[in-house]
Amino acid sequence: MEEELLRELEELRRRGLYRRRFLPEGLKVLCSNNYLNLSNRREVKEAALRAVETYGTGSGASQLVSGYTELHRSLEEELAKAKGVPACLTVGSGYLANLAVITALVSEGDLVLSDELNHASIVDGVRLSKAAKFVYPHRDAKAARLFLEKRRGGFRRCLIVTDGVFSMDGDLAPLPELVELAERFDCFLVVDDAHATGTVGLSSLAYWGLEWKPFVVEVGTLSKALGSYGAFVCGSETLVEYLVNKARPVIFSTSLPPPSVAAAEAALRVLLAEPSLVERLQNLSREVKKRLRAEGFDLGPAEEFTPIVPLLVGEEERALGLRDRLLERGFFVQAIRYPTVPRGKARLRLTVTLEHPPEVYAAFVQTLVEIWK
């Protein structure tokens, strides 16, 4: 068995798909999702420390047993209030949140429409649900519409699911069209705001100026712009009640540790009190992308103001080579390869965060120009 595993690992190495972890100490990390640098904010750290003192380091059980604390309840209420949605539920991670929502809402005999570039946790949720799926071309609401016109009648429930900001491309889902489709064809619309929360504003819906409707489910993480760990699902009171009763990743997994919950709520408060943080992040993102595009780098369809910067390379091996040369120069930008992105579409996924001043990004672009040839 061991030999078989080693053979597979060797095969991954041969195809440029081998992965290993890095210790980022001493490097300028330019691939973190701590977009607003809130994990280093004093108020956020202090909230986590206070929670440790009061509640200890772990929650001890799932939410339905004894793992639901006043901190969890408070964060859920604050999130719901901030988003203008009736209710929210905390979940163990963004990965689990997508599994929870999709597997609870649809099963055999139901239909899921999913963007081809959706996050792996959505893909896995759909697989696990056993619902029929239609994977539509990236951001192609027209293709989704045509499919629904022809096939919606053959299924019981229907769910449309999309990243709000695409995690590996930095572009946006066409939410106005998707909301309209969901309403017209009686579908749930699940928007995964893992990379939208705190970067485009409070949510993708808010960015597009759309009002929440009862068929819309907002998923988000506490682990990226909110600088903590965990995730949330927001929607109707009924949805939350349903998930508490039906979603296996909620029922059968220990609830979030109190310090993570307290840190996330403190980060949310900072975000609400200082919307200028989002503006600063967006301005820095625009500046970095402008510089890179001016130097001729291909960033695909990435929106100017999102902090995700896909430096498209193509070949897996070349992406790895570029990553290693950057490491030698003190910058850590991870190479993203299949299966995270399609084969032959490897990239360096640079992220813009408020952890670094603009000069660091200017130096990075300069270095990249030098090593790219």
Quick one: 99 or 368, whose CB is closer to ligand PLP? Answer: 99
Burial classification of residue 211, based on how many CB atoms lie within 10 Å of its CB (0-12 exposed, 13-18 middle, 19 or more buried): exposed
Find the binder of ligand PLP among 34, 121, 129, 353 (CB under 6 A): 121
Q: Which stretch binds ligand PLP (CB under 6 A): 74-82, 92-100, 202-210, 285-293?
A: 92-100
Residue type, 131: A
The pair of structure tokens assigned to 353 is 């965060």
Residues 34/217, Cβ–Cβ less than 8 Å: no
Residue choice 83, 119, 347, 349 for contact with ligand PLP (CB under 6 A): 119
Instruction: For the CB of residue 158, give the shortest distance to ligand PLP in the complex, in Å.
Output: 21
One of 55, 68, 95, 136 touching ligand PLP (CB under 6 A):
95
Q: What number of H helices and E strands is found in the chain?
A: 14, 12
Q: Can residue 353 be called a binding residue for ligand PLP (CB under 6 A)?
A: no
Q: How many CA atoms lie within 13 A of 22 on its CB side?
A: 19
CB of 98 to ligand PLP, least distance (A): 6
Please identify, using beta-carbon distances, which residue of 92 and 145 lies nearer to ligand PLP: 92
DSSP line for 248-281 = HHHHTSBPPPHHHHHHHHHHHHHHHH-THHHHHH
Q: CA–CA separation, 256 vs 239, rounded Å? A: 20
| Shortest Å distance, C-beta 357 to ligand PLP | 25
In the complex with ligand PLP, the residue whose CB is nearer, 199 or 223, is 223
Q: Rounded distance, CA 223 to CA 225, Å?
A: 7
Long-range contacts of 17-22 (CB under 8 A, 24+ apart): 17/316, 17/337, 17/338, 22/327, 22/332, 22/334
User: Which one among 90, 162, 203, 221 touches ligand PLP, defined by CB under 6 A?
Assistant: 221
Q: Which residues contact 159 (CB under 8 A, 6 or more apart)?
A: 102, 105, 106, 110, 111, 112, 113, 131, 187, 188, 189, 190
Number of residues that bind ligand PLP (CB under 6 A): 14
Q: Which is nearer to ligand PLP, 94 or 235 (CB)?
A: 94
d(CA 37, CA 268): 12
Site string for ligand PLP, 36-75 (x = CB under 6 A): ----------------------------------------
For ligand PLP, which is the closer residue by CB, 118 or 282?
Answer: 118
Toward ligand PLP, which CB reaches closer, 263 or 368? 263
Q: Any contact of residue 349 with ligand PLP (CB under 6 A)? A: no
Residues 158-197 close enough to bind ligand PLP by CB under 6 A: 163, 167, 192, 194-195
State the residue for tokens 């597997």.
103
- Alpha-carbon span 130 to 38, nearest angstrom: 38
**How many whole angstroms separate alpha carbon 135 and alpha carbon 171?**
18
CB atoms within 10 A of CB 324: 11
- Asked if residue 94 binds ligand PLP (CB under 6 A), the reply is yes
Sole window of 34-42, 88-96, 248-256, 276-284 interacting with ligand PLP (rule: CB under 6 A): 88-96
Contact set with ligand PLP (CB under 6 A): 93-95, 98, 119, 121, 163, 167, 192, 194-195, 221, 223, 231
